[in-house]
Structure 1
Amino acid sequence: MSSFVVALDVGGTSMKGGLVGRTGEILHIDRRATPRDRGPVAVIGEIRSFIDDLAARGGGTPEGVGLAVPGLVAADAALYSANIGWRDVPAADFVPLDVPVMLGHDVRTGGLAESVLGAGRGVSDFLFLPIGTGIAGAVIVNGEPYGGAAGWGGEIGHIPVFPQGEPCACGQTGCLETYASASAVARRYAARLAAGTDTAEAEATTAAGISAEARAGVTLPETLSGGAASAGVVPGTGTTVAGAAVASAAPAGAAAVTAERIAALTAAGDPVAREVWDDAVEALSLALATYTLLLDPSVIVLGGGLAEAGPLLSDPLTERLRGRLSFRDAPPLRHAALGVNAGMLGAALLGWRAAGFADAGVAWSVDVPKSRV
């Protein structure tokens, strides 16, 4: 096999790994569970085993290894992750091979990939905003992710958008993530059903909404997700907090509430869903207006599960954002181009940079991220 790097995107639930060649071709992709329940030592061991197996699949020694991990991260060490439980792990401890290695923060590494290969290609300054179980952003300045003085840069999910609003899992009140993450949308819809109807009425409301969805021919991508069993994510860590909140708030018949379902119900005209969706759009517009006035991005790239709703989210958000920026134009909203491969492709860029190729990705084909093996 030609020269390659091992790229690994480590999440709290699963790890996505791949082999990526010098010209950007994806030679192999694989996935494994993250054994978080067994502790940080077990996770590190599984990462080492995964990297070893991927390298063997490549039939030779990789030029380098790139790792995208959650929490506070330096290029040469994973400093802290409440989600996984490690502290001050040197980059070399993740890799069983004597090759160069570079670490990156998971969201910022995805933002790097979108900058070099995806929706931000050719744009020097933008915000990459994946909206999933939680919300965090990658601040891209001069084409590179900016982490700030201590690595907390990009925690836009914890901007207080409604200071007198609902409590957030982080300990603050009224955070963007509490209203606009996929898990928050699911939780708030279920809670309103529980507060406003008895069980029979809730079942009827949900069934009516689903019927309306079917009549309207509403279809949404399967990737739009945000499990109803998550209430929030601690900033900088990816730690899910109060996981039973949605299930306990949901009445019988609404236990399977997800952000995908609520998006479909919103499109079908369900009044409760539309109210929750509108709150999410309002919260996003407030946070993005603040970000725009501070950093003046050329574009805002929306990713993650909630962005898979497409125009249902982007159209009202564009209108709302324009209305909040009376004396200047609002930056255009773009949909992320790399999808679930962003973190892994960003890790590949880190791997090639570790190997001494600082310009990795610049000359790669725009179609490269779509390749499959």
Structure 2
Amino acid sequence: MRHVIALDVGGTGMKAALVGADGTLLHESRRATGREHGPEAVVEAILGFAAELRAHGEERYGQSAAAAGVAVPGIVDTANGVAVYAANLGWRDVPLRALLGERLGGVPVALGHDVRTGGLAEGRIGAGRGTDRFLFVPLGTGIAGAIGIGGTIEEGAHGCAGEIGHVVVRPGGPECGCGRRGCLETLASASAVSRAWAAASGDPEADAADCAKAVASGDETAARVWREAVDALADGLVTALTLLDPRRLIIGGGLAEAGETLFAPLRAAVRARVTFQTPPSIVPAALGDAAGCLGAGLLAWDLLATSDTLTTEVTG
């Protein structure tokens, strides 16, 4: 059976799969990224994981993977296949596409940004399916975005399109890792809500999920913390929809697991802020934490489709 290797590399863990031509996950596996051992060890862990998947495919299906797709965090030069920088993994300028291609015996490899790759999957087979313009925004440790236009994900001139988490919504607010203050992700990410609720509740172990539960139970302090995060998020999203005019906003990540505790006030806050803009539908992501891995598989199949087309043009 023809298949590809898909890898989604996160700050603490990696998800991987063998993906069939119809998008079926033929085999799935997970393991720790091992970032505590340093960036070189992380790279070797990725290469070794991919090689194990290749061997599994050969043993199970009698043939090697036709291609591989890998999604990584941080700044990614997809054109040249370089993982430029990732603060949570500690690497710089890693020629990951070339290294994977060599380890996998020369198969073609596609490299993508984790959020944009997840957005690709949501757009084609998830909550954005059938929508010509959408914005995918996962609310996790940080906040990023993927801009979907006509079945593709916009990368921008420098590979940084969609970085909505670094739109300043509260000037002079909390300091962000990017060096500015008041960025959206310092106020409305799952991490930001966890910090705010831990401080407000006096429980250093409390997190965003605990805050959502407290909101649902009628806790007024939790409601205030939640409202401040939702208001900041709505301000950032209205800025984005003013610029991009999407038909659909797809919200994912850990904070979206709160369901209507998040979506009901968020929809209301966005509606209250728009004037001439047409409000998009605001929906939860459909693929959960499998989006990145599924998207990496799509990148690999797209790469093969391009290669097959070029081969046909040359030989035909």
TM-score by length of 1: 0.77
- In 1: Cα distance, 2:165 partner to 2:36 partner: 26
2:72 paired residue among 69, 73, 90: 69
Alignment match of 1:257 (pick from 202, 206, 209): 206
Q: Following the alignment from structure 1 to structure 2, what is the Cα–Cα distance between the partners of residues 34 and 343?
A: 15
TM-score (norm. length: structure 2): 0.91
User: Secondary structure of the residue that 1:308 maps to in structure 2?
Assistant: helix
| 1:44 corresponding residue in structure 2 | 43
Match in the other structure for 1:186:
194
Matched with 1:148 is 156
Report the Cα distance in structure 1 between the residues aligned to 2:277 and 2:87, rounded to whole angstroms: 40
Say if 1:322 and 1:329, in contact at 8 Å, map to a contact too: no
Deviation at 1:87, TM superposition (A): 2.4
Deviations 1:156-191 (Å, cap 9, x if unpaired)? 111111113333233211111111111111111222
The residue number in structure 2 matching 1:5 is 4
CA distance in 2, matches of 1:283, 1:307: 15
Q: 2:99 aligned to 80, 93, 106, which one?
A: 93
Cα distance, 1:45 vs. partner?
A: 0.9
Question: Alpha carbons of 1:87 and 1:166: their partners in 2 closer, same or farther (altered >3 Å)?
Answer: closer
C-alpha distance in 2, partners of 1:308/1:68?
Answer: 23
Q: Counterparts of 2:88 and 2:204 in 1: how far apart (Å)?
A: 25
User: Distance between the aligned counterparts of 1:334 and 1:295, measured in 2?
Assistant: 17
- 3-state SS of the aligned residue for 2:71? strand
Partner residue, 1:26: 25
CA deviation after TM superposition for structure 1 residue 148, in Å: 1.5
**d(CA) in 1 for partners of 2:307 and 2:182?**
41
Q: Single out whichever of 297-306 and 51-60 deviates more from structure 2.
A: 51-60
Shift of 1:358: 8.2
Dislocated runs of 4+, deviation >6 Å: none
Q: In 2, are the aligned partners of 1:34 and 1:43 still within 8 Å (CA)? A: yes
Paired residues of 1:130 and 1:302 also in contact (CA < 8 A): yes
Whether 2:256 is the aligned partner of 1:307: answer yes
Amino acid at match of 1:61: S
Identical columns (%): 52
1:101 counterpart letter in structure 2: V
How many correspondences in the alignment?
299
Q: CA deviation at 1:357?
A: 5.5
1:117 corresponds in structure 2 to: 125
Deviates more, 1:320-329 or 1:60-69: 320-329
Match status 1:55 vs 2:63: no
| Aligned equivalents of 2:273, 2:94: Cα separation in 1 | 43
Deviation, 1:79, is 2.0
Question: How many angstroms does 1:57 deviate by?
Answer: 1.2
Write 1 or 2 for the structure with the bigger share of helix.
2
Matched-pair contact (CA < 8 Å) for 1:129–1:303: yes
Mapped to 1, the partners of 2:149 and 2:92 lie a distance apart of 28
Q: Please, which runs of 5 or more residues in structure 1 have no aligned partner? A: 194-250, 360-373
Unaligned runs of 5+ in 2: 309-316
Other structure's SS at 2:258 match: coil
Query: Which amino acid in structure 2 is aligned with residue 311 of structure 1?
Result: E
**Deviations along 1:313-343, whole A, 9 cap, x unmatched?**
1111111111111223311101111111100
